[in-house]
Amino acid sequence: MGTKRQFKVWRGDETGGDLQDYQVEVNEGEVVLDIIHRLQATEAPDLACRWNCKAGKCGSCSMEINGMPRLGCMTRMSTFTEDETITVTPLRTFPVIRDLVTDVSFNYEKARETPAFAPPVGVAPGDYRMQQVDVERSQEFRKCIECFLCQNTCHVVRDHDENKKAFSGPRYFIRAAELDMHPLDAQDDRKTYAQQHQGLGYCNITKCCTEVCPEHIKITDNAIIPMKERVVDRKYDPLVWLGSKIFRR
Ligand code: SF4
Ligand code: F3S
Ligand code: FES
């Protein structure tokens, strides 16, 4: 038999809303998404929430729990004290559709803007060959489940809709880094592209994206900083500058 615990859940739509109080039974081993499901099964059958796998792999159940961007299905109730009120709100960076469901199409637009993998001319699919070391270098970035928690938490866009046009966000910086490390990608200047078109320069390395990533991808250290360093190298490194002058002649 579980115990009753206090919850506040944001209810509303694009026209507005507020936090509603609920007392919900909590049992051993449950996660926040279980509580949302219990609410839907009892007193709030119309509570909207996006989810799919309940295993931390689909990236659908992103929400803010006590103000922290988290996956509802991976946030254990045992991480809270018994007397703590648990507040569940939708992701703040994206427009609310209803209750805990937000419109994340910003991310799909940025995905479409990111130039796709470009294989070298004359190499047919099936003939691509890579060294294992190259496969491993970018493997970390391929663990991304597209939960968009990093996109939601980044201060560049979190309260600044006006920056969204010019800023692709950490999820697409790891995509750029992954392609940059790909030995067969013929799109030759991912770093300059990231600087000029993805808004890499807006990132001031606060690392909040890395802190919230449920896949523990070292977004800042392994993707953003190397991409920035190489852009800086190209722009300011006196040897690179000298080389470019000599070879241009
Ligand atoms: Fe989610 Fe991490 Fe991918 Fe960002 S990088 S979308 S936080 S899995
Ligand atoms: Fe944003 Fe991550 Fe940079 S949170 S500012 S993209 S380090
Ligand atoms: Fe799939 Fe939570 S339901 S990640």
Mean pLDDT (whole number) for 241-249: 52
The pTM is what? 0.91
d(CA 162, CA 159): 9
Averaged pLDDT of the chain = 92
Q: What percent of the chain has pLDDT over 90?
A: 80
Predicted pLDDT at 2: 86
Predicted pLDDT at 235: 55
Mean pLDDT (whole number) for 41-52: 97
Q: Which of 232, 231, 213 is nearest to 69 (CA)?
A: 213
- CA atoms within 13 Å, Cβ hemisphere of 81: 2
Predicted pLDDT at 186: 83
Local confidence band at 189 (pLDDT 50, 70, 90 cut-offs): confident
Local confidence band at 239 (pLDDT 50, 70, 90 cut-offs): low
Predicted pLDDT at 225: 96
In the block, residue with structure tokens 């559709």: 97
CA 59 / ligand 1 centre spacing (Å): 8
Could you give the dihedral angle defined by the CA atoms of residues 123, 141, 136 and 126, in that order, rounded to the nearest 10 degrees? Answer: -20
Could you give the C-alpha distances from 138 to 132, 174, 181, 232, in angstroms and in order?
11, 9, 7, 21
Mean pLDDT (whole number) for 18-41: 98
- The answer to whether residue 60 scores a pLDDT higher than 90 is yes
Predicted pLDDT at 223: 96
- Asked if residue 170 has its Cβ within 6 Å of ligand 2, the reply is yes
Assess contact for 199 and 192: CB atoms under 8 A: no
Local confidence band at 246 (pLDDT 50, 70, 90 cut-offs): low
8-state DSSP, 42: T
**Which protein residue has the closest C-alpha to ligand 2 atom 5?**
203
For residue 137 the two structure tokens come to 């270098």
Predicted pLDDT at 111: 97
Assess contact for 119 and 110: CB atoms under 8 A: no
For residue 157 the two structure tokens come to 């866009």
For residue 242 the two structure tokens come to 């000298």
Greatest Cα pair distance, the chain, in angstroms, is 81
- The answer to whether residue 214 scores a pLDDT higher than 50 is yes
- Asked if residue 214 has its Cβ within 6 Å of ligand 3, the reply is no
- The answer to whether residue 249 scores a pLDDT higher than 50 is no
CA 38 / ligand 3 centre spacing (Å): 16
Range from 105-119, 173-187, 224-238 carrying the lowest mean pLDDT:
224-238
In the block, residue with structure tokens 């920035």: 228
CA 175 / ligand 3 centre spacing (Å): 21
Could you give the C-alpha distances from 32 to 8, 73, 79, 215, in angstroms and in order?
12, 6, 10, 18
Which ligand is in closest contact with the Cα of 205?
2
Local confidence band at 198 (pLDDT 50, 70, 90 cut-offs): very high
pLDDT tens, position by position, 103-157 = 999 999 999 999 999 888 888 888 888 899 988 988 999 999 999 999 999 999 9
Q: Which of 207, 70, 222, 53 is nearest to 142 (CA)?
A: 222
Instruction: Report phi then psi at 172, rounded to 5.
Output: -90, -15
- The answer to whether residue 247 scores a pLDDT higher than 70 is no
